[in-house]
Structures are given as structure tokens and as C-alpha cells.
Structure 1
Amino acid sequence: METLSRAPATEIEVSSRFVRYATLGGTWGAWLFDALDATIFSFVILSISNTFGATLGQVVSIAAWFLLATGIGGLLLGNLADRIGRKRALLVSVLTYATGTLLCGFAHSVTELSVYRFAVGVGVGGLWSAAVALVGEVWPATSRAKAMALMQTGWSAGSLLAAIFAWTLLDASDPASWRHLFIVAAIPAYGVALLILVFVKESPVWLENREFLRNNKNKAGLLEIFKGDLRKTTLLALAISILGMYGYWIIMTFTPTYLQSVLHVRIDQAPVFLVWTGLGATLGYVLYGELAERVGRRQAFAAFFFGIALAIPVFAYGARMIPLQDGRLAWTTGNIAIIGVLSALLGFFTGYFSGFGAWYAELFPTSVRSTAAGFCFNFGRVSAIAGIKLVPMLIPVLGFTLTYCMASMTYLCAAALVFTLRETQGTQLTSGN
């Protein structure tokens, strides 16, 4: 039984080329700094531990709070985007994560830093919800997956920029240099907010649907995604996100620390991993979009999930095979190239992230599109808390390498689960769907 009356399937006038690319450019920039602010933390875990005299487990708890906040932000700001518009919610998200990141640079304790990273997480989670709904509704079905893939390259660009900032600003002789990283990372995001305010237009699909909702007693509430026919779709999409996020955040959170622990690289050398991972991911995002348009959303997801399940142990054991000199990695051109190739391979198969936006936008109706997409994507990220909290406990028992490789199992499960959801390739988004 339907629980939410739907607007008639009204054809919306196709957005102009300028509007489409302005939307893509604005969301790409917002997603870039979203990634920058989300990923810089992995470079400073040990530095923060030393500054505050905290254990690794205590500092990792900050990452857990961040991931919990992404789920809350995805749900609340996602619902806000369904109610007040995609553009306004986008602006709220950018300003939230920018301000939270800026404050991180002035934190005086682990507790205070946790609060600020929680705020960053709310903004990070909310941004994706609004962005995928906006891009999905502005771009036509024939090129929607490609547009989402291009938007997703903003994440790899942000990760790459985070690595460059870390490489430039972190100083092994200055234990407080991590503060500069947060401050510098926050400032450009305010400029992106201004560009969105000026150049990005509201979704015409949302505007058309808004008129319907004003005259319909059934408003799009937070719980609508768990009612009627939407319940099954929501839970299956959430399960796929959980499996995809669990492995990813273990990799992104612990790989710099893994390289420091196994190869004994310095804190200012570890960012090389993210540079190459970002380059590989950029290629993966683009090629995923092409593949999804050719073979469909489900087959593309399955291929990339299977690929990263293989890439994780290749990276972990490949890194261990590099010979050490005087107990640490010799920083030679050859060794950097080996780490680079392994990292790029790992990054390439994270290209599946460019598929969540198009698929989730096509699975849910306009009235709850941002709410549903934000909930499924970001509460998938919340599930990664379990992995992040579990890793420090398993390392003494299984060793860092085997613990790291266990992430592959979640990807194999995800590859099978994608076929439980319907294929949506070619779906037209109107005010009624």
C-alpha cells in the first residue's frame, strides 16, 4: 500500500547546458572540500595522540564520532533538502563542515576535537544527500551516471589535495603542525559556498514537486522511507552501503598508519599513498560511469566490488615485500613507484563510489529522494565505526596485515547483494517519480 501520495508524473523542462554544468561544477567543488576535510584526519592520528597524550584507541574514537555524525547529517540535512530545497541544504552543509574543520585547528583536548569533528561529519553527510539529488534531477537519464561520476572525482581531487597539504604542512619536528593542516583546509570551502550561492540554481524537479507537497496532506517525513514499497528498497540499499563503506573507511583510516607501522615511513612521507590513490580513484570514477551506462548499475557495482576485494591483499602483501634499509623504507624512486602502483590500483577500484548517487537517485521518488539517498549512503558510513573500533583490538591478535585484509570479505558480500535491487538504467526523473 502506498504511504505517500505522489505528484503526477509531470515532464520538467530540460535544464540548459549552463545550468547543468554550473550545478556539476558547484557540487564538484563542494564535494572536493568535503573530501579534503573528511580525509585529512587520517594523516594526523599519531600527531594528535602525541599532542594530547592520548592512546591510539582514544584518537580513533574521534573518527568513530565523525562517522556517526555523517549518518545523522545525511538523514537530517537530507530531509531538509527535500523540504527547503537542494541548493539551500547544500549551502548549510558546506558552511557546517568548513566551520567545524576550522575549529579543529584550535582544539585543546581530545573531547573538544571530537565535538568539532562531529560537526564536520554532519556537514559531510548532509552534502552528499543534497548534491546527488540536485545533480540527478538536473542531468538527463542518458548521461546521469557520467555526471555523477564526474562529481565523484571531486572526492579523489579532495583526497589528493589533502595529501598535498599534509605533505607540505606537516613537520615531523613540530608536533603541533597538524593544527595548521585543519586551518588551511577550511578556508577555501567558504569560497565554494559563495560560488554555489551565486551560480547554482535550484532543481526544477524539486520546485515542481514542492507545489504538489504544499497541496498534499502527506508530507515527506523522515519515516516515509520505511513505509510501504520503499521499506525493502531502503533496507537493501542500506545493506549495500554498509558493506561498501565498512571496507573503504578501514582502508582510508588505517593505510597511512599501516605504512608508518610496517614500512616505518615518516609522517610527512605517508601522504604519498593518498596522492597515488587519488589518481587511481579519479580514473576509476570516470570509467565506472562509462561502464554503468553500458552494462547497468548492478553489473558495474559487482565488477568494482570484486576488483577491490582482490586489490586490498595485493596492496597489503605487496607493500610488505618491499625490502627495508636500516629498519625503514628507503625513499628511492623505485620504492616510491612500487607504492604508487599499488596505491593507484587500490584507488581505482574505489570507483564504485560514483555509482551510489545515480542508482539511489533513480531508486527513490522526488519527495524522499534526498532523505533516502542520504540515509542509505551515510548510515552505511556509520557502520564503519565497527570496523574502525575493531581494528586496534584485532591488530595485537592477528597482526596489522591480516586485520587490514579482512576488509575484502565485506566487498565480496556486497558484490552478491547488488543483484537484490532492481536495475534503474535509463530511468527518467520527473516530479512524479
Structure 2
Amino acid sequence: MSTTPATIVPIEDTSLTGFYKDMTVPEKRTFWACATGWALDGMDFMIYPLVIGTIIQLWNVDPGTAGLAGTVTLLASALGGWGAGYLADRIGRVRTLQLTIIWFSFFSLLCAFAQNFDQLLICRALLGLGFGGEWAAGAVLMGETIRAQYRGRAVGSVQSGWAVGWGLAVLAQAALFSYLPPEQAWRWMFAIGALPALLVLYLRAYVKEPEVAAQTRAKVAAKGESPSILEIFQGPILKVTVLASLVSMGCQGGYYAITFWVPRFLTTERKLSIVSSTGYLAALIVGSFAGYLVGAWYADRFGRRNLFLVFSLGAIAVVAAYTQLPLSNEVLWVLGFPLGFFASGYFSGMGAFLTELYPTRLRGSGQGFCYNFGRGMGALFPFLVGYLSQTTTLANAICIFAVIAYVVFFAAAYALPETRGKVLHADA
């Protein structure tokens, strides 16, 4: 492991868009490739929460079992993310990213042909392997390509692509469910999820491996060694891995508890139709997009750790108001913006933060494991919310598990150091 001391670069231009004006051509190509990939990844994942009500009705599935498909997808993504992170340390970030995109696109297409819930469950689980792997490879690729002084804003801005993908999924839902019967519309939703495969053509032509990663792999190969997949659980790295995994679990558990079930909450407890709920989801998505951009700026201006602490407290306050106060639908629509803002904005700091916590030779494994362990544990929250909603209101179930998740998020983030401005080095 490298003993090179961390180098911290001061950030001169702290404006939100300042990083993009000074980016090199390779940095811009990587930025747009990863932003597009993450948007399409978000579209793929959010399709299922949007059609879950249709699945429940068509196949007579209870809410707890329906939530299980979301849980299984995220559990599989935890394994896929760790495996893809390790693979990225062995064969490269770009090659791993290409493989994962093709994988989850293929299984999204297969979901469209499922004939029963068991088949859909299997397809979603297999999709999850690639879904988790795409983030692991893409986040490391971005973190190593972008210079230290711009890393938080660049990686965070890429994260905003998730809101764009979510928005695309909602638009597809509104269009397809307006012109097709539900038993056909949901299948076309999954078929659209195969589109990310086209991104691989761009990756092959324009995106190159980060120099720091290539140099590190060359050093490791020269020594005749290869990093162990278990090395992130040894020595001083173990504490980092445990705390970073809890941060990831808290932030994702809260997010999934909210976003997975809010569409269902609007159509059942608020008595809105699928089409009329689109405006409420739009407010949530616009708030989410704004949160990603502000969070990206905040991460470079005030630090990754401060971002997590402030936004976790904000998320607790807003989700409690959204689910527990006797609000009119008009007020609820307005409150969707701050809910999306606080429940999403902290993700802008996650990629850069995890990149900066690990040495280069273990970065893929460490970042892939921690983020996707969080996905795996966060995967329990859609299932638990669905299960608890059978004995209380869905609003109460969402609030209870979101608050638990954000308390864990706050506590673990508080225990970790700030990493803003850290320069990455080749090591072996």
C-alpha cells in the first residue's frame, strides 16, 4: 500500500459551473459518458417503482411481495458492485463499465417478456448485478479522471443524471399509460430500459482509462502481485470500510424508503390516478435535480462530510412533514421540491468521498463494496416499508424507516474525516 502522504489542493473557483470551463477534452468526454450512463441507470431502476401498482393489480401480488422485487434488485446490485469494483482494479475502469452497461440493459429487456412475478423477480435480480457494477466502475472512473479541485462538483453533477433518468421514466409512464392499456404499457416501460446499451459505442470510441489507474496496475503487475478482494477488511482500512459502508447504508436506505413508495402513496392514500400523480412526481424530481447540483457545489465549497450532516437533518425534517402533517394536495405538491432536494442532494458527495478514502490499488474494491453494501442493506427498506404498511399507513411506514436510515447516515458521516481537495496518487 502506498505511503505517499495525501496532497490537498486548494479550490480557487468555487462556482457551480467553474469546473466545466477548465476541464480538458478527456475530462469532458468522461464526464458526459458517465452522466449519460447514470441517467439511463436511474431510468432503468425507477421503472419498477412506477409500474409496481400495475404489477400488484395484474398479478394479484401483495405490497410486501411487490417490494421484495425492489429489495432483490438492490441486494444483487450489492454483489455486482463489489465484484465490478474488484474487476475494475484488475482489468480497468472503462472495460468494466462497458460490461456492466450491456448486462443491465439486456436484463431490463428480458423483464418486458416476464409472464409471472417469479420470472420478473429473477430478471430484476440479474439486472441488479449490472446496475450495481455500473456505479462502481463509473464513479471510480470519474473520480480518477477529474482533478482534485473539481472532483466534488464534477462527480456530483454526474449524479444529477439520476434525476434526469427518473424524469425520463416518469415521462415514459405518462405517455405509455395514456395511449396503451396497463397490461401492455408496463412491458414497454421495461423495453425502453434496454437503451443504455447504445452508450457502449461511445465509451469504446472516446473514453480512456485514467492515467493513475493504469500506472498503478502496471506497478502491481511488475511486482507479480494482485490486490486481494478481502484487503479492504484488513489493518487501518477496516475502520474506513465499516464507517463508509454505514454512511452508504443510511443515505441509500432513506432514499429508497421514500422514492420507491411515494408513487404508491400518491395513488392510494392521496387517491390520485397514475397520470395525475405525474405533476407531484415532477416536483419531487425537479427538487432532486436541484439538490444534486447544489450538493455538488456544497461538497467542494464546504466539504463532503458537512454536506452529509446538513442534508441528512434536512431530509428527516421534510419527510416527517410530507408524511405526517395533514396537508392539502396543493401543499403536498409544493413540499415535493424540498423532499426531493434533501433526499437526493447528499449523493453528490458520495462518489468523490469514497474515491478519496481509498488508495488507488484498492479503490475499485473499496468504493464498490461500500456503496453497494449500502445498496444491499438499503434494499431492505422497500421491503420493510411494504411489510409494515400492512399494519399501519404507508405514510407512517415510509417515515419510520426513512428517519432510522438518516440517523445512521448522520452518525457514521460524523465519525469519518473530511477528504475535500485530496490528490490521488499511483501506488502499489
Same fold by TM-score greater than 0.5: yes
Give the aligned partner of residue 145 of structure 1. Answer: 152
Question: Do 1:136 and 1:361's aligned partners in 2 also have CA atoms closer than 8 Å?
Answer: yes
Shift of 1:285: 1.2
Alignment of 1:305-320 (within 5 A): 305-317=312-324, 320=326
Amino acid at match of 1:176: Q
Aligned residue among 303, 322, 344 for 2:328: 322
Q: Does 1:409 align with 2:417?
A: no
| SS across alignment from 2:417 | coil
Question: Do 2:244 and 2:412's aligned partners in 1 also have CA atoms closer than 8 Å?
Answer: no
* Superimposed CA distance per residue, residues 102-132 of structure 1 (whole angstroms, 9 cap, x where no aligned partner): 1111111111111111122111111111111
Shift of 1:182: 0.8
Give the Cα separation in 2 of the matches to 1:293 and 1:392.
37
Shift of 1:268: 2.6
Aligned residue among 224, 227, 238 for 2:234: 227
Question: Do 1:153 and 1:285's aligned partners in 2 also have CA atoms closer than 8 Å?
Answer: yes
Aligned residue among 248, 267, 283 for 2:255: 248
Q: Does 1:346 align with 2:352?
A: no
Question: Do 2:63 and 2:387's aligned partners in 1 also have CA atoms closer than 8 Å?
Answer: no
Give the aligned partner of residue 293 of structure 1. Answer: 300
Aligned residue among 281, 284, 293 for 2:288: 281
Amino acid at match of 1:408: V
Aligned residue among 392, 396, 403 for 2:390: 396
Give the aligned partner of residue 370 of structure 2. Answer: 376
Shift of 1:409: 3.2
Shift of 1:284: 1.0
| SS across alignment from 2:427 | coil
Shift of 1:344: 1.3
* Superimposed CA distance per residue, residues 33-89 of structure 1 (whole angstroms, 9 cap, x where no aligned partner): 100001110011121122223222222211111011110110111111111000001
Give the aligned partner of residue 83 of structure 1. Answer: 90
Q: Does 1:183 align with 2:191?
A: yes
Give the aligned partner of residue 327 of structure 1. Answer: none
Amino acid at match of 2:335: L
Q: Does 1:430 align with 2:425?
A: yes
Q: CA 1:16/1:10 → structure 2, altered by over 3 Å: closer, same or farther?
A: farther
Give the aligned partner of residue 362 of structure 1. Answer: 356
Question: Do 1:35 and 1:156's aligned partners in 2 also have CA atoms closer than 8 Å?
Answer: yes
Give the aligned partner of residue 162 of structure 1. Answer: 169
Alignment of 1:95-174 (within 5 A): 95-171=102-178, 173-174=181-182
* Superimposed CA distance per residue, residues 149-175 of structure 1 (whole angstroms, 9 cap, x where no aligned partner): 111011111111111111111248433
Equivalenced residues, count: 411
Question: Do 1:137 and 1:203's aligned partners in 2 also have CA atoms closer than 8 Å?
Answer: yes
Give the aligned partner of residue 331 of structure 1. Answer: none
* Superimposed CA distance per residue, residues 275-330 of structure 1 (whole angstroms, 9 cap, x where no aligned partner): 22221111111111221212211111101111111110222245x5226xxxxxxx
Alignment of 1:31-110 (within 5 A): 31-110=38-117
Q: CA 1:395/1:151 → structure 2, altered by over 3 Å: closer, same or farther?
A: same
Give the Cα separation in 2 of the matches to 1:238 and 1:138.
24
Give the Cα separation in 1 of the matches to 2:85 and 2:309.
27
Percent identical: 30
Amino acid at match of 1:210: R
Question: Do 1:8 and 1:431's aligned partners in 2 also have CA atoms closer than 8 Å?
Answer: no
Q: Please, what is the CA RMSD of the aligned residues?
A: 2.0
Structure 1 runs of 4+ off > 4 angstroms? 7-11
Give the aligned partner of residue 18 of structure 2. Answer: none
Give the aligned partner of residue 381 of structure 2. Answer: 387
Question: Do 2:324 and 2:396's aligned partners in 1 also have CA atoms closer than 8 Å?
Answer: no
Give the Cα separation in 1 of the matches to 2:137 and 2:259.
24
283-292 or 64-73: bigger deviation: 283-292
Give the aligned partner of residue 265 of structure 1. Answer: 272
54-63 or 157-166: bigger deviation: 54-63
130-139 or 272-281: bigger deviation: 272-281
Give the Cα separation in 1 of the matches to 2:394 and 2:55.
21
* Superimposed CA distance per residue, residues 314-359 of structure 1 (whole angstroms, 9 cap, x where no aligned partner): 22245x5226xxxxxxxxxxx3xx4442211111111001111000
Give the Cα separation in 1 of the matches to 2:320 and 2:87.
41
Give the Cα separation in 2 of the matches to 1:146 and 1:228.
31
Give the Cα separation in 2 of the matches to 1:400 and 1:104.
27
Q: CA 1:113/1:391 → structure 2, altered by over 3 Å: closer, same or farther?
A: same
Question: Do 2:283 and 2:336's aligned partners in 1 also have CA atoms closer than 8 Å?
Answer: yes
Give the aligned partner of residue 11 of structure 2. Answer: none
TM-score by length of 1: 0.90
80-89 or 170-179: bigger deviation: 170-179
Q: CA 1:141/1:269 → structure 2, altered by over 3 Å: closer, same or farther?
A: same
Give the aligned partner of residue 210 of structure 1. Answer: 217
Amino acid at match of 1:381: R
Amino acid at match of 2:288: A
* Superimposed CA distance per residue, residues 202-244 of structure 1 (whole angstroms, 9 cap, x where no aligned partner): 1111110111110224421211110111111000000111111
Give the Cα separation in 2 of the matches to 1:256 and 1:85.
38
Question: Do 1:50 and 1:175's aligned partners in 2 also have CA atoms closer than 8 Å?
Answer: no
In structure 1, the gaps of 5 or more residues are 324-334
Give the Cα separation in 1 of the matches to 2:272 and 2:182.
17
Give the aligned partner of residue 332 of structure 1. Answer: none
In structure 2, the gaps of 5 or more residues are 8-21
Question: Do 2:156 and 2:296's aligned partners in 1 also have CA atoms closer than 8 Å?
Answer: yes
43-52 or 267-276: bigger deviation: 267-276
Give the Cα separation in 2 of the matches to 1:117 and 1:386.
15
